[in-house]
Amino acid sequence: MLRGTRAAMSSDSPLDIHATVDALPGVGPKVAAALARLGIITVGDLLDHVPARYEYEHAEASIEEIEESLPGEEDAANVSVRGEIAAIRTVPGRRPRIEATIEDSTGSLRLTWFNAAWLMRKLRPGLEIVVEGRAKRWKGYLQIANPKWQVAEEVEGARDERLRPVYPASEDLSSQRIEAFASAALDILAAGSGIVDPLPAALRRARALPPLARSYEQVHRPVDRDAAAAGRRRLAYDELLLLQLGVMMKRRHLRSTLRAARLERDDEIDARIRSRLPFELTPDQNRVCGEIAADLGSERPMNRLLQGDVGSGKTAVAVYAMLLTVARGHQAALMAPTGILAEQHHASISRLLEGASVEVGLLTGATPPSERRDILERLGAGTLPLLIGTHTLFSEGTDFKRLGLAIIDEQHRFGVEQRSRLRRVDEAGHVPHVLVMTATPIPRTLSLTIFGDLDVSTILERPPGRTPTVTRVGTPEKSEDVYGFLAERVRAGEQGFVVVPAVEESDAGLADVEGHRRRLVAGPLADCRVGVVHGRLAANEREAVMNAFRDRELDVLVATVVIEVGVDVPNATMIVIEHAERFGLAQLHQLRGRVGRGGKRGICALIGEPTTEDGQRRLDAIGETDDGFRIAELDLEIRGPGELFGARQSGLAPFRVADLANDLDLLRIAREDAAAWIDRDHALLAPDATSVRRRLMATYGDSLGLGDVG
């Protein structure tokens, strides 16, 4: 699993794991292209493409042997049989079916498939196939309903009893063919130079890990499920170890080579900052402010993640950190993912600092050119202490005189690479302290992976006055009642959101923004002022609509998930989410957090008809708990890390084997081993780390910014 960079085949071996898959017998350009679409380029990629599951495969029996073993209609057995198709036809009806008869030298057997008209294009009389399924007698005939089947010439020899791997496959490439290629690769590698194991033998012994070559055998050709699990564990460990080595190498490098300004807190500064805040900080906020102040008081650059549930008071903590920075003669900047959110931060922080001598600037894509020039000049001169904005804050041409603190809101929307761009050295040789914030609670496993280079502070309690939002789940038949209640809230002087999954009308029958708005104003919300906002609107149009809603010029806003993050309208008390089963669990929780922010209890109405077990689990969970941390763990279980945060955005390469929802114990072991390894070999330059370092640079060198390490 831990391999070096992709390279040509070595000259002294017919094949190695760095060779491209077209070096394997039977892999021509078309097959190589089909494998590439599955992410398989090299032989090593093929061996890392592990089975999704295993199925028990029965030894082949003759039709006569099956007949004799099932004398009565109550008898049934799982069987595997080979035969030639004698006849095949389509039988119409309420449940149309395909019926085929296969024969061998001992008898005949009927096969039935329901709702499988496509089989008529694949199967034909005279074709020999191998089928597997549950055989029983029905009306005197021996038959198998909905059997699995394979063209006989693709099956090497007669089947024996075995555990068969089932691979993630595609329309162009069956699981059986992938199995054949993986098996061929193992045979050729074993006959040649074999597979070099990059892990030191002492580490393998300490963790009871099988050698890499044996692990591949266990995964692709298991003798039993225990062997398959042991092989998978080794491959998953390798993936987790690799990421932890990268995260810890980067963390150590930052701490040992970069310096930040010491922004020490004293009692006078602390009292002055608190006097600016119009409320008492909660115990959790006080604790986190203490953690941040300790970091700021050190010349080792702060690299901290602040996470808290929706409405937990993270902005107040951010303001505390910014004012501490300004009190020590440095500048502070807060970067938001959207112009709307940047404007809201600017407005709320300006309100908090009303009457103070601290000026707060705003820089977004909508800032007029003359105002932008003025802001940039004052930044460079050091006369503008606080700046709120979007990613333009850290683009070329935006130069701070003495940037002491950079705060990034909604961290997962920026990613590791963008975070590393903040490490600009100023004229004093200092880099800024960095605080990243998220209202999407990070499951423990992800905090060790995507955000493993960060220290973590967590706010668990809500400030006084924030009451949980009431959540109700209903089917589309309840829509009329839901919108009737929303109209009542509007008549009472309140506002509401309606969230739909699609911008335009789709074939899937999903509610779209404009179409849904038209239906609402022609029906239950006829007396309401209803606006629309979505991601395809130009930024200035979007901000104009949001400002109109915030200023109460609109009663109801029909929107897509563009309102998911940070939209703060205290008068909004109700949110309706259409097709709720289409949204992720954490996403639903974020949307729910848009209401009930002004003292009145919020109401969240989820309308949906789940067609999958996962969809039902999401709606059940969101209706039962408002604990964002519990929801984050459930969302990771259901959707996986790739969908939850986006592999590209986060900088986390997608794992082929490791499962973060179920491999937490293995992750802890890998983290412990990585820490010990980096302690003794900071940059992985020792001889026993050569192949591990090569693989690390190929996988995470860019996303973790490891090019300057070692």
Contacts with 44 (C-beta within 8 Å, 6 or more apart), sequence order: 3, 17, 18
Has residue 447 got a pLDDT over 70? Answer: no
Cα–Cα distance measured from residue 499 to residue 418, given in angstroms and rounded to the nearest whole number? 30
Higher-scoring residue by pLDDT: 332, 338: 332
More confident residue, 111 or 355: 111
Q: Which amino acid is at 214?
A: R
**Are 267-459 and 470-625 equal in CATH topology?**
yes
Spatial distance between the Cα atoms of 61 and 66, rounded to a whole number of angstroms: 7
pLDDT band, residue 621 (cuts 50/70/90): confident
Per-residue pLDDT tens over the stretch 9-39: 333 446 788 899 999 999 999 999 999 999 9
Residue 646 has pLDDT above 70, yes or no: no
The strand order across the sheet containing 495-499 reads: 470-474, 603-607, 572-578, 495-499, 556-559, 530-533
Tokens matching residue 149 = 């089947």
Can you tell me the distance from the alpha carbon of 167 to that of 49, in angstroms, rounded to the nearest whole number? 8
CA atoms within 13 A on the CB side of 261: 23
- Say whether pTM exceeds 0.85: no
Q: Where are the domains of the chain?
A: 1-56+162-196, 59-160, 267-459, 470-625
* pLDDT tens track for 121-137: 999 999 999 998 999 98
Please give the pLDDT value at position 341. Answer: 82
Residue range 59-160 in CATH 2.40.50.140? yes
The two tokens of residue 518 are: 């038209």
pLDDT given at position 8: 34
- Specify the pLDDT at position 508: 45
Query: What pLDDT is stored for residue 446 in this prediction?
Result: 67
* Model pLDDT, residue 612: 79
Q: Which amino acid is at 357?
A: S
CATH T-level fold of 267-459: Rossmann fold (3.40.50)
pLDDT band, residue 448 (cuts 50/70/90):
low
Instruction: Tell me the per-residue pLDDT of 576-616, one tens digit each, with 9 for 90 and over.
Output: 999 998 888 878 888 898 898 777 889 999 998 887 777 88
pLDDT for 212-249, tens place per residue? Answer: 999 999 999 999 999 999 999 999 999 999 989 988 88
Residue-level pLDDT at 349? 87
Q: How confident is the model over 390-399, as a mean pLDDT?
A: 82
- Tokens 């900071």, residue? 682
Report angle CA 165, 103, 88 to the nearest 5 degrees: 85
Backbone Cα Rg of the chain: 31
The CATH architecture that domain 470-625 belongs to is 3-Layer(aba) Sandwich (3.40)
User: Is 80 exceeded by the pLDDT of residue 659?
Assistant: yes
What does the pLDDT read at residue 417? 54
pLDDT for 37 equals: 94
Q: How far is 490 from 646, CA to CA, in rounded Å?
A: 37
Q: Please name the helix (run of DSSP H) or strand (run of DSSP E) that holds residue 150, with its range, or none.
A: strand 148-151
Q: What pLDDT, on a 0 to 100 scale, did the predictor assign at position 157?
A: 62
pLDDT range class, residue 414, cuts 50, 70, 90: low
Task: Indicate the average pLDDT of the chain.
Answer: 85
User: Is a pLDDT exceeding 70 seen at residue 566?
Assistant: no
Q: Are 597 and 572 in contact (CB under 8 A)?
A: yes
Cα(285)–Cα(316) distance, rounded to whole angstroms?
8
Strand partners, 102: 85, 109
Question: Which CA distances in Å does 283 have to 121, 289, 419, 461, 463?
Answer: 69, 10, 29, 8, 10
Q: Is residue 133 helix, strand or coil? A: strand
pLDDT in tens, 292-319: 999 999 999 998 989 887 777 888 999 9
